[in-house]
Amino acid sequence: MGPYVRYQLVRKPVTPEVPIVSAAARTAAIQLIARKTPLVLDQAQRQPLPAMFGAQVFGVEQMRSRLPETAWRALVSCMEHATELDAGLADQVANAMKEWAVERGATHFTHWFQPMTGSTAEKHDSFCSLENGRLLMEFSGKQLIKGEPDASSFPSGGLRATFEARGYTAWDPTSPAFIRETPSGATLCVPTAFCSWTGEALDEKTPLLRSAEALSREAVRLLRILGDQKVQFVYPTLGCEQEYFLIDRDFWLLRPDLVATGRTLFGAKPPKGQELEDHYFGSIAPRVLAFMQECENELWRLGVPVKTRHNEVAPSQYELAPIFERSTIAVDHNMLCMEVLKQTAQKHGFHCLLHEKPFAGINGSGKHNNWSMATDTGENLLEPGRSPAQNMRFIVMLAAVMRAVDTHADLLRTTIAHAGNDHRLGANEAPPAIISIYLGEQLSEIVESLVLGTKAGDRKRESMRLGVSVLPSLPRDATDRNRTSPFAFTGNKFEFRAVGSSQATGKPNTVLNTIIAESLAFLSDAIDKQKGGKGLEAAVSEVVAEVFKKHQRILFNGNGYSAEWHAEAERRGLPNFRNAVDAIGNFGTSKAVALFERFGVLTAKETESRMNIMFEAYCKAIAIEGQSALSIARTMVLPAAQKSQGAVAQSVGAAKAVGIEVKAQERRLRDMSARIETLVLCIDDLQSAFDHAEGHGGSPGEHAKTYRDKVVPAVSRLREVVDALETMVADDLWPLPKYREMLFLQ
Ligand code: ADP
Ligand code: MG
């Protein structure tokens, strides 16, 4: 066996041999779960972390050792300057990559890309080629650099008609190729960008790369003005904390709503939820730990630097976080994380739920998007200064972030707008839909004092003079721990906390990079203009004070969940886009179009297409929920409820027949029958809401509004009665696994 056969499973996962849906299946699932044990590796098959890390990545070291010196240098230059590889060099790189991959058991390669579906896409080709009937393992430079998947079935938001469906994928050499392995084989994955034949970006990666370039350009320009001659480029950094739920796969199989929509459309509140707060950071159950360990092993092999794991607040909720990286790579790595979580879960007899709100009444899942900017000289631009010059630089960068987030709060809100996140944002657990910045008390005071200016005789304020003295050191712990803020400064980075757990992080980071680039450009222009007369230090102080003053309204350190904040935010004029449909339209404003065009991130057409796709995705998500709710209510809940009602009626009738008084039981029966009547009415009501939305024409935005206003409330009304029935219908007749089971039995 080759080196790529790493391990074998010690035990095959239990497969249920029960009918897929029936009340008996629920009990059978519980019995199966009771017999499950952790799926662990044999001692002999374990490997030390250093041996695993990056083992499946064709990274810089592998390229260097497998390419001739001249080719290696040429490739590095292409990567640094984002220029195209010439054909000869491409062939050399492709060949080296193929040899490396084949040694590791790869039989196929694929261009791996991120179409606007929120997930990744791949189409595999084998290395197999025939020459005079003889097998050759082929992978040419051309195949490495460019692919031509049929683009017609990917969302394009109107960018191209199906008759001109061709699109192409182009190698992104800044993100290393890697091998994805299954027990039966391996595939070389080449990260690529995906464009239409007319050059429009059909993916999330291309705009991200463009935005990172814009950010670098503008940051370097500003740093030069501040006197830095060394920095050549700046890159955004990103660390995504990923939250998820893990439930037993045997329960998942019995919940058509989870299978179709990723969330439970029905489910009565369990007797115990998260109120005991006993899950957060609790000891990790053995079966779950075994799953986490296998995920981590796999992610390390793929070069993803996963670092922390722990139990989250809700029962059966967990988190995994990597060490931050260059954001263009971290975005790819987060896609891999989600994929590995899902696949590994299945192997361990679990199902991993990445939805923002799989269960009503307990916390949902988010993805904290930790963002900063780093220089090629190894400095973090959001690290508060230790010297007067760093101090000034930090304050200028802070001003850029504040200005950007205030000016474009609407766009930032759009990047997290989708049906799933509507259940989270604004509920009492996730940051509100209102975008604000948390700086912590100390930093807020500094901002305040810079706005007010230094007053003679006031030592405390004197010490804040830019370019002269250092900032008071900010203890890391003092800057965080306001979990209610959507955008919090946490010592040396900002944490955009409103991103949804299931989301691809390309879009939020594209917008973050772009709005910051714009503010960096604004600051450069302003400081440059002022500098002539009064010198750098005074110019910076003046510009920064002006920016802080104008954008101070975006700062909020208090409780973001409170009603007072909603009123206060309104007074301050901060936008509050309460739901996805309200927010998505922000991509259609002339302000948005001009911003993305100016920085070469998206053309007007590309921006519009993204808005359309978000609207369409919303409609589809709600339509699937509507359909799914209807079918479960009609074919599972109603029959169970009627059966239960029949049994009660029979029992009451029998008692009465022999002259026993059963008034209280009759009341129960009447109550139950009334609920069942309501159930049927709610089903009809949802059906007509759904038909109305389906048949409703208009723009994608109008279509989405109909789904929001008609279908969403009808699903909620249906849920209410179904959940009430769950508490009345005989337990042995109820077909859907209950919250108390899914959340607590593993
Ligand atoms: P917490 O938010 O729980 O305090 P940490 O401070 O350890 O946790 O960081 C959370 C995430 O932020 C991690 O993924 C970490 O790598 C990332 N992070 C730390 N520094 C930076 C940075 N400069 N840029 C981007 N992400 C960062
Ligand atoms: Mg965090």
pLDDT tens per residue across span 197-231:
788 899 999 999 999 999 999 999 999 999 999 99
CA distances from 740 to 267, 272, 277, 283 (A): 9, 7, 16, 20
Give the distance (Å) from ligand 2 centre to CA of residue 630.
Answer: 38
- Under the banding of pLDDT at 50, 70 and 90, the label for residue 338 is very high
Average pLDDT, the chain: 90
Looking up tokens 């920016």, which residue turns up?
A: 547
Task: Report pLDDT for 6.
Answer: 43
Residue 531 scores a pLDDT above 90: no
The predicted pLDDT at position 466 comes to 61
User: Which pLDDT value is given to residue 464?
Assistant: 53
Residue 560: the pLDDT is: 87
Centre of ligand 1 from the C-alpha of residue 746, in Å: 31
Q: Which ligand is nearest to the CA of 304?
A: 1
Give the pLDDT score at 20.
Answer: 46
Find out whether 501 and 357 touch, Cβ atoms under 8 Å. Answer: no
Chain segment 701-726, per-residue pLDDT in tens: 999 999 999 999 999 999 999 999 99
- Ligand 1 atom closest to 382 (CA): 23
For residue 159, pLDDT beyond 90: no
Winning range, highest mean pLDDT, from 12-16, 260-264, 478-482: 260-264
Confidence check: pLDDT of 472 > 90: no
- Å from CA of 241 to ligand 2 middle: 7
CA–CA gap between residue 79 and residue 256 (Å, rounded)? 47
Both tokens assigned to 257? 């709503």
Mean per-residue pLDDT, 597-601: 98
Q: What is the mean pLDDT of residues 171-191?
A: 92
pLDDT of residue 480: 53
Predicted confidence (pLDDT) at residue 372 exceeds the cutoff of 60 = yes
User: What is the per-residue pLDDT for 91?
Assistant: 94
Q: Which class is domain 49-203? A: alpha beta
pLDDT of residue 461: 44
Tell me the domain boundaries of the chain: 7-45, 49-203, 212-460+475-602, 617-742
pLDDT at 14: 47
- Using the mean position of ligand 1's atoms as its centre, give its distance from the Cα of residue 723 in Å: 40
Residue 216: count other Cβ atoms within 10 Å of its Cβ: 22
Residues near ligand 1 (Cβ within 6 A): 237-239, 241, 321-324, 370-372, 380, 480, 490, 492-493
Locus of tokens 């240098």: 73
At CA 194, angle to CA 189 and CA 200, rounded to 5? 170
**Average pLDDT score over residue span 404-413:** 98
DSSP letter string over 46-62? ---HHHHTTTTEE-HHH
416-438 pLDDT tens trace: 999 999 999 866 666 778 999 99
pLDDT-derived band at 68, boundaries 50, 70, 90: very high
pLDDT of res. 473: 54
Among the bound ligands, the one closest to the CA of 238 = 1
Find the mean pLDDT for residues 274-279. 72
Distance of CA 204 to the CA centre of its chain: 13
| pLDDT category of residue 534 using cuts at 50, 70 and 90 | confident
| pLDDT of 458 strictly over 80 | no
Ranges 250-264, 265-279, 294-308: which has the least confidence: 265-279
Which of 83-92, 292-301, 656-665 is least confident?
Answer: 83-92
Element (H, E) at 187: strand 185-196
- Checking DSSP bridges between strand 494-496 and strand 317-322, what pairing results, if any? unpaired
Compute the distance from residue 238 Cα to the ligand 1 centre, in Å: 8
H/E run at residue 689: helix 663-695
Separation in Å, CA 134 to CA 79, 98, 128, 459, 701: 36, 18, 10, 84, 56
Q: How many CB atoms lie within 10 A of CB 17?
A: 7
Q: What is the pLDDT of residue 463?
A: 43
At 161 the pLDDT is 56
In this prediction, residues 349-370 reach a mean pLDDT of 96
Q: What are the DSSP calls for 227-244, one per residue? A: T--S---EEEEEEEEEEE
423 in Cβ contact with 357 (< 8 Å):
yes
Ligand 2 center–CA 424 separation, angstroms? 17
Q: Which ligand is nearest to the CA of 329?
A: 1
Which atom, in ligand 1's list, is nearest to the CA of 323? Answer: 16
- Over pLDDT 70: what percentage of the chain? 91
Percent of the chain residues past pLDDT 90, beyond the cut: 72
Ligand 1, pocket-test mutation among 243, 493, 509, 516, most atoms within 8 A of CB: 493
pTM score of the predicted model:
0.93
Q: What is the pLDDT of residue 10?
A: 44
Q: What would the two tokens of residue 551 be?
A: 């954008």
Cβ neighbours of residue 454 closer than 8 Å, sequence gap 6 or more: 461, 462, 464, 465
- Going by pLDDT thresholds of 50, 70 and 90, the confidence category of residue 12 is very low
Helix (H, G, I), strand (E, B) or coil at 699: coil
Q: In 3D, which of 467, 447, 461, 471 has the Cα closest to residue 535?
A: 467
CA 491/CA 384 separation, integer angstroms = 8
Instruction: Tell me the pLDDT tens digit for each residue of 562-587.
Output: 889 999 999 999 999 999 999 999 99
CA of 321 to the centre of ligand 1 (A): 9
Give Cα separations from 94 to 3, 302, 329 (angstroms): 22, 19, 21
Closest CA to 363 of 436, 279, 433, 473: 279
Give me the sign of the Cα torsion angle 90, 93, 95, 98: negative
pLDDT band at 158 (very low <50, low <70, confident <90, very high): confident
Residue nearest to atom 14 of ligand 1 (CA): 239
The pLDDT of 391-401, averaged and rounded, is 94
Neighbours of 635 (CB within 10 A): 13
Q: Which ligand is nearest to the CA of 326?
A: 1
Q: How many CA atoms lie within 13 A of 78 on its CB side?
A: 19
- Of 6-15, 356-365, 526-535, which has the strongest mean pLDDT? 356-365
Protein fold of 212-460+475-602: Creatine Kinase; Chain A, domain 2 (3.30.590)
CB 693 within 8 Å of CB 707: yes
Q: 667 exposed, middle or buried (CB, 10 Å; 0-12, 13-18, 19+)?
A: exposed
Q: Which atom of ligand 1 is closest in space to residue 370's alpha carbon?
A: 26
**Looking at 86-95, 154-163, 590-599, which range is the least confident one?**
154-163
First to last CA, the chain: 35
Neighbours of 607 (CB within 10 A): 22
Q: State pLDDT tens for residues 315-334.
A: 999 999 999 999 999 999 99
Q: 167, 170, 171: which is closest to 151 by C-alpha?
A: 167
Pick the CATH number of 617-742 from 3.40.50.720, 3.30.1360.200, 1.20.120.1560, 3.40.50.300: 1.20.120.1560
Protein residue whose Cα sits closest to atom 1 of ligand 1:
490
Q: Which helix (H) or strand (E) holds 146?
A: strand 146-147
- Tens of pLDDT, residue by residue over 543-564, are 999 999 999 999 999 888 888 9
Q: Which two tokens stand for residue 51?
A: 């041996």
**Lookup: tokens for 15:** 């497969």
Is residue 13 scored above 70 in pLDDT? no
Least confident of 151-155, 308-312, 522-526: 151-155
Asked if pLDDT for residue 7 goes beyond 60, the answer is no
Site to probe by mutation for ligand 1, drawn from 237, 280, 313, 370 as the one with most ligand atoms within 8 Å of Cβ, is 370
| pLDDT of residue 641 exceeding 60 | yes
Over residues 291-300, mean pLDDT: 97
DSSP codes, 454-505:
--TT-HHHHTT-TTTSPPPP--GGGG---TT-SEEE-SSSEEETT-BTT--S
Residue 459 is predicted with a pLDDT of: 44
What's the burial of 77, exposed, middle or buried (CB within 10 Å: 0-12/13-18/19+)? exposed
Residues 6+ apart with CB under 8 A from 394: 381, 382, 383, 384, 385, 471
| DSSP letters spanning 286-346 | HHHHHHHHHHHHHHHHTT--EEEEEE-SSTTEEEEEEPPEEHHHHHHHHHHHHHHHHHHHH
Q: Quickly state the pLDDT bin for 154 (edges 50, 70, 90).
A: confident
- Rounded Cα distance, 263 and 503, in Å: 15
φ/ψ (deg, to 5) at 500:
-80, 150
| Residue 204 one-letter amino acid | E
Which single residue is written with the structure tokens 């200064």?
385
Q: 372 CB contacts (<8 Å, ≥6 apart)?
A: 236, 237, 324, 380, 381, 382, 492, 493, 494
Residue 259's SS3 state is helix
**Mutate which of 324, 372, 495 for ligand 1 pocket (most atoms within 8 A of beta carbon):** 324
Instruction: Give me the pLDDT at residue 484, please.
Output: 84
- The residue among 225, 192, 20, 42 whose CA lies nearest residue 109 is 192
For residue 302, how far is its CA from the centre of ligand 1 (angstroms)? 20
Q: What is the CA radius of gyration of the chain?
A: 28
Residue 67: closest CA among 51, 87, 90, 85:
90
Pairing label, strands 494-496, 234-248: unpaired
Structure tokens at 286: 């053995």
Alpha-carbon gap, residue 606 to 602, rounded angstroms: 5
Q: Name every residue whose Cβ is closer than 8 Å to that of residue 278 and which is 6 or more positions away in sequence.
A: none
